[in-house]
C-alpha cells in the first residue's frame, strides 16, 4: 500500500482529521499545481482543466474542513 493510498483511506475514514499539508501533497502527486492564492483560499488546477479551491486552516485549527476533503475526494475520483 503506497503513501497515496494510505492518505486516501485516512481521508475517507475520518475527513475531520486531515491536515492541510497532507492535502497539498496528495494534490501534487495527482498532478495539481497551486494556481492562485488569495488569503487562506488556495486554488489548484490540473492540465485537464479541473479546478479545486481548498481553504487553508488558520488560528488554532490544524485540520481542513470536512467539506473541502469531500470535494477533494470527488475531484480525485473523476
Span 11-22, pLDDT tens digits: 999 999 999 999
Q: Is the pLDDT of residue 78 over 90?
A: no
Closest-CA residue to 39 (of 60, 15, 58, 20): 58
**What is the CATH code of the structural domain delimited by 3-77?**
3.30.920.30
Span 50-75, pLDDT tens digits: 899 999 998 888 899 999 999 999 98
Residue 55's DSSP bridge partners are 41
pTM for the whole structure: 0.86
CA torsion, ordered 57, 29, 35, 60, to nearest 10 deg = 10
Amino acid at each position: 500500500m503506497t503513501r497515496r493510498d494510505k492518505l486516501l483511506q485516512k481521508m475517507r475514514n475520518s475527513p475531520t482529521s486531515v491536515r492541510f499539508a497532507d492535502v497539498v501533497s496528495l494534490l501534487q502527486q495527482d498532478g495539481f499545481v497551486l494556481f492562485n492564492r488569495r488569503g487562506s483560499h488556495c486554488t489548484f488546477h490540473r492540465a485537464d482543466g479541473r479546478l479545486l479551491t481548498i481553504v487553508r486552516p488558520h488560528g488554532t485549527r490544524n485540520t481542513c474542513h470536512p467539506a473541502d476533503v469531500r470535494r477533494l475526494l470527488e475531484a480525485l475520483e473523476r
